[in-house]
A and B are shown apart, each in its own frame.
Chain A
Amino acid sequence: MSSISSVLSTAVQSLLADTGALQVTNDNIANANTPGYSRQVPIFQEAAPANDGSFSVGNGVVLEGYQSVRDELVSNQIQQETQSQSSANAQLNTLQQIQPTFTTSTEDIGTEMSALFTSLSSLSTNPTSSAERQGVLTAGSDLVAAFNSASSVLTTQQAALNSPVDQDVSQINQLTQQIAALNPQIAELTASGQNGGSLQDQQNQLALQLSALTNVSTIQTANGETLTTGNGTPLVVGSQSYALQTATGSDGMQHVLDQNGTDITGALSSGDLGGTIQMRDHTIPGLLSQLDTLASQFGNAFNAAQAKGFDQNGAAGGNFFTVPATVAGSAGAISMAITDPTKIAASSDGTAGSNGNVANLSAVQTNLLPSGNTPAEGYANLVYQVGSLTSNANAESTATTASLLQLNDQLSSVSGVSIDQEATNLITFQTAYQAAARVVSTVQAMFEVTMAMGTAAAD
């Protein structure tokens, strides 16, 4: 049977429910700009009705709890896209450091190569001129410097990428420890039917930070999140995290090892770490190989042309460049073999005034090297390669940024806090609270009337 007490109880429950709802609305507003925060909504449940004779009467509302609004699918997509973006950015950052070396200037390899051949052409008009001969030597030295510089830039960039590898692995280990620590707490909450709430948000953020570092796969289990690298190396299983290590390999580079000491460097394909390794172990070595091949073949071809002629003193032409025996490292090690301008083998008959061998030296510009290209074509291919890699990395970075924006918009549309919506909720719950409070006031008045019944005050 309904009573004033039951009415009061219902109103009080309503007040409590609305207070709880206001609390979560307040929490949402406070965390409107917190990265990774998933808005929470109050779960209202109608209280079990009471039987009042032949009819049942509602018993008010119960605040069952709070539910975080998430979209796990979109969250996973964001993690994947973050891996791609970080990888692209890592590669783009390094390529942007390398690109100026291959940009046309007064000192790039292409310009210096041209200068060497034009100096030879100038020498042909006056083969006994010491000024013209010195011009050829200077041009040769400048070309050597250009090769050395380009090689130095590439090798320096490659070596510099070892530091980010160490840093990324250290960060990965910190993150996996934190994720593992959260797993049992979240598992306990979900086992009791509760929402993971802020703990889950924290873990999702940590997983996102981890995705920025390397390629990870996430599986939800009863014990929480299980994370592995792309090749299945475990990082987190339940409450246990598995640390990665770095060690210097025989190539002088930092290698990444799993907890058993197995080298997994090649399996890390995404994230900042994957992008860094891609640049260090594949992209830069590829560019260096092309550069070394160009320097080696060009130097040897020029020396062969020198050998066909005679220097200003009538002696058979010697090497113009000192080229290493092995192709690897040629660009960094190539140097001038002569410093005496008279050693330039311009003559074809041993007389100082002959320029007959200049044609052979000049022909190095147009003859095909063993690679199948002329020297200028070989360098142009390098320029194209660097430009293409940089352009592609930039495009990937731009595309993933746009994609992430869309995905985050999607996620935000589900999980994000809308100030407008929370303001509306404030009004809604405030109004409901006010209404429930009015009921309480009304019941209070009714109590007073009841208490006053049969007394002089009642009259």
Chain B
Amino acid sequence: MRVANMVPDMEYAVQQSQQALSAALQQVSTGLRVNKPSDDPGASASMVISLASSANVDQYTSNVSAIQSQMQTADSAINAVVTSLNTAITLAGAGSTSTASLANDQALAAQAQGILSNVISQANTSYQGVYLFAGSASSTPPFVAASTTYNSQNGSAAAPLSTTSPLTAGSVTTINDASTGQAFNFTAAAGDTITDLENAISAATAAGTLSTGTTATINTKGELAISSKSGIVASSNDPVLGSMRAGFGTEVPNTYAYVGNSTVNSVQVGDSTTVATNVPGDQLFTLGANVIGSLKGLITALQSGNSSVVAAGGAAVSAALNYVSQQRVPLDNTISQLSDQDSFLNQETLTLTTHQTALVGVNLATAATSLSQAELDNAAVLAAAAKVLPQTLLNYLVPG
């Protein structure tokens, strides 16, 4: 084929070699084979999915760390409760001997009261502002000292509330009973009055949700008074009533109501793995063998000085100890599971990183070799162009 002009071919060859050189250089400098979607559309699309997985794994790892700290704090609190219960059992043992004196029993009762206070303190443990044994009502302490009477903030002799006073639709009035361990909630409907609240309380009492004798009346001060001999904690967000306050001097000794709930939160620590992050306080301390109730019973028994009653009280505390120990097992298992999950997630991170490198990364040794080859090719093309292009027949013709 007649070749008229080699310049276009040379230009194309130089351009091609320079493009190859540029590509090789970029791979070596970035360590990536795929820098943009057009480099490998399939790999780029797969990377989107893989990076999302990596982000999830990183978050799961953070979640594990956050939950571990929280659950270890909860476990420490339960451990302290176990220690307290063991001490209480020892006190019961001392108080149940036939030689124990009343004075001695009174002293033991005082110690038992201290143990109860300590258990309540542990039950109200918080971690970073969150009460660990309150269920999902975690912004306030779950165990509150019960009183026989709670009065509304609103209402006075001059402007008393009345049974016909309308309640705010949607407002909630709650009574937590220290004896039954249950919660009564009244959500006011449109048109409801205080009478409806009173009637609802009566019904709850009849149903056993609230202790026998729990009442709601308008007292002489014009306030709504909710009363219960066994001890309650009441609250309301109805602006008609205002907040509910414990009556002065009406606190029931050694008696606490649970104002949390039974909600268990779960946190995802793996694509298919979630763990419960809390144990509700009622489940641990008031239901089952009733830790708080057993301690209160022991205090009462020691105050009575009756050794057989004290012995029975000690047995109840022992049962409570066994119960708490059993309730602790799932928590300890979760802590252990989190540790295993942490190791698994570390492995997952490595696997994903390896996968991503395979998708878009480049073997640096191979890339370096390719760069060297591209440099050689470019030098050869340039040398060839420099050699060939200036030459024509005119260079050889002798003028004349």
- The interface of chain A, by Cβ under 8 A from chain B, is 32, 39, 95, 99-100, 102-104, 110-111, 113-115, 117-118, 121-122, 124-128, 347, 349, 351-356, 359, 362, 365, 376-377, 379-381, 383-388, 390-391, 394, 401-402, 405, 408-410, 412-421, 423-424, 427
Contact = CB atoms under 8 A, between A and B. Distances in A.
Interface of B: 1-5, 8-9, 12, 35-42, 44-49, 51-52, 55-56, 58-60, 62-63, 66-67, 70, 128-130, 134-139, 261, 263, 265-268, 274, 277, 392-394, 397
Given A103-B36, A125-B66, A353 B266 contact: no
28 contacts: A103-B44, A104-B44, A117-B52, A118-B55, A122-B59, A122-B66, A124-B63, A125-B66, A125-B267, A126-B128, A126-B130, A127-B265, A349-B136, A349-B263, A351-B135, A351-B136, A353-B138, A359-B266, A365-B52, A380-B45, A386-B41, A387-B37, A391-B39, A409-B1, A412-B3, A413-B3, A418-B4, A418-B5
A121 B38 contact: no
A410 to B, nearest CB: 8
Contacts of B66: 122, 125-126
A354 B46 contact: no
A291 to B, nearest CB: 14
A356 B45 CA distance: 32
Contacts of B41: 383-388, 391
Contacts of B267: 121, 124-125, 355
A381 B45 contact: yes
A416 B8 CA distance: 12
B63 A351 contact: no
A390 B263 contact: no
Contacts of A353: 130, 134-139, 263, 265
Given A383-B41, A391-B37, A408-B8, 18 more contacts: A104-B47, A114-B51, A114-B56, A118-B59, A122-B62, A125-B277, A349-B261, A352-B136, A353-B139, A365-B52, A376-B49, A377-B49, A387-B39, A387-B41, A410-B1, A418-B4, A419-B392, A419-B393
B266 A386 contact: no
Given A122-B59, A362-B268, A413-B1, A387 B40 contact: yes
A413 B4 contact: yes
A122 B55 CA distance: 12
A29 to B, nearest CB: 10
Contacts of A418: 2-5
Contacts of B394: 419, 423
Given A124-B63, A384-B44, A417 B134 contact: no
Contact of A121 (B5, B60, B128): B60
A427 B397 contact: yes
A331 to B, nearest CB: 17
A231 B263 CA distance: 72
Contacts of B9: 405, 409
A336 B268 CA distance: 26
Nearest to B69: A125
Residue of A351, A362, A388 with most partner-chain B CB within 10 A: A351
B232 to A, nearest CB: 20
Nearest to A379: B48
B136 A414 contact: no
Contact of B55 (A95, A102, A114, A414): A114
Given A381-B45, A414-B2, A376 B52 contact: yes
A384 B70 CA distance: 43
Given A114-B52, A405-B8, A351 B277 contact: no
A103 to B, nearest CB: 5
A383 B46 CA distance: 10
Contact of B265 (A121, A355, A420): A355
Contact of B58 (A111, A118, A391): A118
Given A110-B48, A351-B136, A424 B55 contact: no
A440 B70 CA distance: 117
A380 B48 contact: yes
Contacts of A103: 35-37, 44
A347 B263 CA distance: 11
Contacts of A415: 4
A347 B52 contact: no
B130 A104 contact: no
A417 B130 CA distance: 88
A96 to B, nearest CB: 8
Contact of B37 (A102, A408, A413): A102
A289 B367 CA distance: 39
Nearest to B134: A353
Given A125-B66, A384-B44, A413-B1, A104 B51 contact: yes
B51 to A, nearest CB: 7
A128 B268 contact: no
A101 B278 CA distance: 43
- The 7 A-B pairs with the shortest beta carbon distances in the complex, nearest first, are A387-B37, A416-B4, A387-B41, A353-B138, A354-B136, A390-B38, A384-B45
